Amino acid sequence: MATINPNTGKRQLYGRRIGRPLKSNQAERLDEGLARFGLTLETLEQLQAQRGDLASLFPGPVEEVWLEIGFGGGEHLAYQAAQNPKVGIIGAEFFANGVSSACGHLLRAGLDNARLLHGDGRELLDRLPAASLSRAFILHPDPWPKKRHHCRRIVNTEVLDILFKVMRPGAELRLATDHSSYKAWMLQKLLDHPGFDWTASSKQDWSQRPADWPQTRYEAKALREGRVPMVLSFRRRS
């Protein structure tokens, strides 16, 4: 994860790029997957400089582009790519283990409408064209539970400002967390932001996933351990 260093004014990264050491088959899957689905910041910078369309990142025609920041093991990203073949999905994940897992899901399903950045999602956000996304996901991000680390939480005013810029009017922002303090933090940050409207009309809207939102291994583990996730949907204002 990253935040702005007050001494340098530059974004400072936190955390490790690799969790458990990759096994040989995981490393091979990562290499194969990134050769096919990999996306670099340099590619996005070139696209931005040329005022290109994100749809050009995908080999087939796509009608819209979605983004998932921190896709974990990639189950949700691969599901959405399979269910929405006319959508191009960009995902960013800091951990090599998760990127390798996502590559496996995409390779086994033979999907081509996904692109993966092995890196911090905030670095990617800075390089997206304005009004280029129809949907964005931030699902179960690192809660950084200690109070002194709350500034590292990805759901913050800075990130929401950038999302407002890169999302189209009416685009949907989906979020989820099972961490008790992050629930209040996340909801308050969204409600305080002038660019997004909460779509909920009943308790069910934040306590149950929509039909097109699959359960991930992380969520299943949280439920087994007695942590109930909160799911949120906000719309980008016109």
What residues are annotated to the active site? 142
The CA-atom distances, in angstroms, between 16 and each of 13, 74, 91, 120, 141 are 9, 18, 18, 11, 15
Measured from the Cβ of residue 152, the count of other Cβ atoms closer than 10 Å reads 19
Specify the length of the chain in residues.
238
CA distance 131 to 214: 26
Q: Under the phi-then-psi rule, with left for phi > 0, alpha for psi from -120 to 50, and beta for the rest, what region is 81?
A: alpha
Comparing CA positions, the residue from 56, 87, 70 lying closest to residue 171 is 87
Query: Which residue type sits at 8?
Result: T
Structure-block tokens of residue 158:
């800075």
Asked whether the beta carbons of 140 and 215 are under 8 A apart, the reply is: no
Count of beta carbons in the 10 Å neighbourhood of residue 185: 18
